[in-house]
């Protein structure tokens, strides 16, 4: 018998490699669209906004309790954040999560009815709250806001710019 010789080629052809790369690119694009990293960043910023407002709300409530039910007399965000810091109610002033400047708004000690009311609010940006279709809470062009006021002592969202007269009841939405 004669000895048979076989030639074995180890590895992949160029076409096989290109097909694998193309399939991986399609899968990567689909995953990137499904994850939407920009919206995930905005959702994280929204969570920080909600946390910051809860922190300031607690500080205002503590100030009010320690001062015989008197709300802070400061009228804007710079004054309230610095005043609560100086009074020892805040250990650090909450900062804008996206770094674009003043994010929080404070409307202080206005008399809507007894007792006086204060309001802290900010905008929310993720698609959970603002979008072009359901399940977004506010359909564009409306903007979403997170607010807390002393009248209800509760934080909630709204599709309209918050005012001191608003409380966390319909048409506002709870967390």
pTM comes to: 0.76
HSE value, Cβ hemisphere, 13 Å, CA-based, for 95: 6
Cβ pair 155, 175 in contact under 8 A: yes
pLDDT tens digits for range 112-138: 455 678 888 888 888 888 877 777 888
Q: Is the pLDDT of residue 20 over 90?
A: yes
Q: What is the pLDDT of residue 171?
A: 58
Those residues with Cβ within 8 angstroms of residue 107's Cβ, 6 or more apart along the chain or in another chain: 75, 118, 119, 163, 164
Backbone angles phi, psi at 54, to 5 degrees: -65, -40
Domain regions of the chain by residue span:
14-158
Q: What is the pLDDT of residue 83?
A: 85
């Amino acid at each position: 018998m004669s000895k048979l010789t076989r030639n074995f080629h180890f590895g992949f052809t160029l076409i096989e490699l290109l097909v694998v790369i193309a399939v991986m690119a399609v899968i990567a694009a689909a995953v990137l669209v499904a994850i939407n990293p920009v919206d995930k960043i905005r959702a994280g910023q929204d969570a920080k906004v909600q946390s910051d407002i809860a922190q300031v709300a607690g500080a205002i409530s503590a100030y009010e309790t320690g001062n015989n039910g008197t709300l802070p007399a400061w009228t804007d965000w710079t004054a309230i954040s610095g005043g609560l810091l100086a009074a020892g109610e805040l250990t650090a002033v909450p900062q804008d999560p996206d770094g674009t400047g003043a994010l929080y708004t404070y409307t202080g000690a206005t008399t809507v009815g007894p007792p006086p009311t204060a309001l802290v609010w900010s905008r929310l940006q993720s698609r959970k709250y603002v979008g072009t279709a359901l399940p977004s809470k506010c359909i564009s062009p409306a903007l979403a806001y997170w607010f807390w006021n002393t009248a209800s002592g509760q934080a909630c969202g709204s599709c309209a710019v918050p005012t001191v007269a608003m409380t966390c009841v319909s048409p506002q939405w709870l967390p």
